[in-house]
Amino acid sequence: MFVANSASRRVFFSVVVFGSFLGVIGLAVLNSQSARYARADDRDLEPKEHTKDSLASVKEKIADKKAVLVDVRELVEWNAGHVQGAVLLPWRDLQDKLTEAKVKEKLPKDKIVYTYCAVGYRSLRAAKILKKYGYEVRALKPGYDELVKAGFASEK
Averaged pLDDT of the chain? 82
Q: Which top CATH class is 55-155?
A: alpha beta
The two beta strands, 67-71 and 87-88, are parallel
Alpha carbon separation from 77 to 80, 118, 139 (Å, rounded): 5, 9, 18
pLDDT class for 99, splitting at 50, 70, 90? confident
* From 4-8, 93-97, 117-121, the region with the lowest mean pLDDT: 4-8
